[in-house]
Amino acid sequence: MIFSSPRFFLFLATLLLLMALLGSDRREFKKRLLGVASCLFYAAWDWRYLGLLLTISVVDYVAAAKISVASDRRIRRAWLLLSIVSNLSILGYFKYCNFFINNLNGVGHLFGWHITPLHILLPAGISFYTFKTMSYTIDVYRGGLKTCRSWLDYTTFITFFPELIAGPIVRGSVFLPQMDREIGPTQERMKIGLSIFLIGLTKKVLIADRLAGIADPIFNDPGIYSALSIWFGVFAYSIQIYCDFSGYSDMAIGTAKMIGYDLPENFRMPYISANITEFWRRWHITLSSWLRDYLYVPLGGNRLGTQRTYINLMLTMLLGGLWHGASWNFVLWGGLHGSALAVHKWVLSYRKSCRIPVIHPIIGVGATFLFVSLAWVPFRARSFGDTLLMFKTMMGLSNGNGATWIPEALFWCLPPVLIGHLVGVMIEKDVVKIVNIFRYCLNLCGLNINNDTISGYYVVWNRATTLGIYLLSLWIFVLFFFASTNTSPFIYFQF
């Protein structure tokens, strides 16, 4: 049940209707209803793994409860260890078991032994919900979070369907305090939620799915294309993965808003980053902050000297790459980003002493985008061989016998992304004149800029104006008629 499918609309509409019918004085019942709906949502993917999800929630709920009541540090540690080991074991078994078997077989081939890979079906969203539950127990252990009052509340948090499959990775410290809220749809929540959802849907079906039609054939068979076409394919994928994933996040945030919860911002115009460090502050914010707080900092962060900082950065990014998928390609992707982060850190620390000139932000944005796009090659390519072939062709080192295809869709998918980023920059930098003009135009359409402390900036529906209704109707018709029909599942579902 993907967010852009009619079945999801039906599911969401039914849930919201039931919540609205329950009125405002049945908070606990509505939370239970939400929990059941979330379980149904997950069961629609594969009901067999619902038990796994509930088991994880029991283990972590109990572990956190024991941590909070125990006064002995060793006991607290033991419970934390149990939680982490159980989560990582489950993740390791389902996601990485066959990866290690295949690698062992690669070595074993030399000695004549072979292990048969297991038939394992990857549970949807396992990487997301294991990280979510681990952050909960770690936060309770660190004393930064109170334990959840009831297992049912905790399960509602763990199974919360808008972000269950592909994030954002919501921490208990963000979500659990909201559990006391009165949930259910209100006119205000619906206006904001639907606006954000519509933005996400547009990104997904109008841009990402259309660009998939360019990137997919090129990445699936790079050998038949020329260098120019492969460059187009790589740029198309850069925009596709951004619109796909941030579109999903928007839809998740919008859906949660309609229900009555706030989810954290996951993307903040990542392609305007002037350097790689800034990129990781803007891209998949909930994952990068998770890796920072639960991996990089515990490893020592930048507190143990320069060399150790670089090692920690590299380790964090390598594991971050591996988190995305059990493949050496993802490790390579993580390694590339880790190296770039380390180099950037080195440049920053030696800038003054070595008189390294400051790069103009526009050049920095171009260079960062180029690097990130190139790093997507191993991320998306089907194999290590394809990655090498693509890099060689792009650099003009292959035989160059491929055909040139100039995909038109790329050129009309770029402007909306570019304009969106530019407007975002103006708002972020608070360029008063331009922001005022933008606000005036939005106001004519009955729209407003909503600055939410948790979810970030969004353009949302404020009031009905003739122009606004006209444009909204037109927008919906355009979505309806021109959405790409290659309705593909969201890229991040596979992680």
**Whose Cβ is closer to other proteins: residue 7's or residue 149's?**
7
Instruction: Give the whole-angstrom CA distance, residue 108 versus residue 98.
Output: 14
**Whose Cβ is closer to other proteins: residue 47's or residue 412's?**
412
Q: Which residue has the tokens 């909204």?
A: 472
Cβ of residue 104: shortest distance to other proteins, in angstroms? 33
Cβ of residue 291: shortest distance to other proteins, in angstroms? 34
Q: Which residues are CB-contacts of 194 (< 8 A; sequence separation ≥ 6)?
A: 254, 258, 461
Among the options 284, 324, 337, 344, which is catalytic?
Answer: 324
**Whose Cβ is closer to other proteins: residue 5's or residue 24's?**
5
Nearest 5°: the CA angle 195, 200, 202 is 95
3-state secondary structure of 452: strand
Cβ of residue 44: shortest distance to other proteins, in angstroms? 13
Give the C-alpha distances (Å, rounded to integers) separating 446 from 191, 193, 373, 433, 450. 11, 16, 37, 20, 13
**Whose Cβ is closer to other proteins: residue 318's or residue 410's?**
410
Instruction: Give the whole-angstrom CA distance, residue 420 versus residue 270.
Output: 11
Residue 14, number of CB atoms within 10 A of its CB: 11
Cβ of residue 471: shortest distance to other proteins, in angstroms? 8
**Whose Cβ is closer to other proteins: residue 431's or residue 467's?**
467
Instruction: Give the whole-angstrom CA distance, residue 236 versus residue 212.
Output: 8
Cβ of residue 244: shortest distance to other proteins, in angstroms? 16
**Whose Cβ is closer to other proteins: residue 174's or residue 389's?**
389
Name residue 352's amino acid. Answer: K
Nearest 5°: the CA angle 53, 169, 216 is 95
Q: What is the DSSP code (8-state) at residue 450?
A: E
**Whose Cβ is closer to other proteins: residue 200's or residue 402's?**
402
3-state secondary structure of 460: strand
Instruction: Give the whole-angstrom CA distance, residue 287 versus residue 132.
Output: 10
Instruction: Give the whole-angstrom CA distance, residue 371 versus residue 365.
Output: 10
* Rg, C-alpha atoms of the chain: 24
Catalog residues that contact other proteins under the rule CB under 8 A: 4-7, 213, 217, 223-226, 229, 401-409, 464, 466-467, 469-471, 473-474, 477-478, 480-483, 485-487
Cβ of residue 198: shortest distance to other proteins, in angstroms? 15
Burial of 435 (0-12, 13-18, 19+ CB in 10 A): middle
Instruction: Give the whole-angstrom CA distance, residue 12 versus residue 32.
Output: 16
Cβ of residue 401: shortest distance to other proteins, in angstroms? 7
**Whose Cβ is closer to other proteins: residue 64's or residue 472's?**
472
Strand 447-452 relative to strand 456-461, pairing: antiparallel
324 is catalytic: yes
Cβ of residue 60: shortest distance to other proteins, in angstroms? 35
CB under 8 A, 24+ apart: contacts of 449-452? 450/192, 450/195, 452/262
Residues assigned a catalytic role: 324
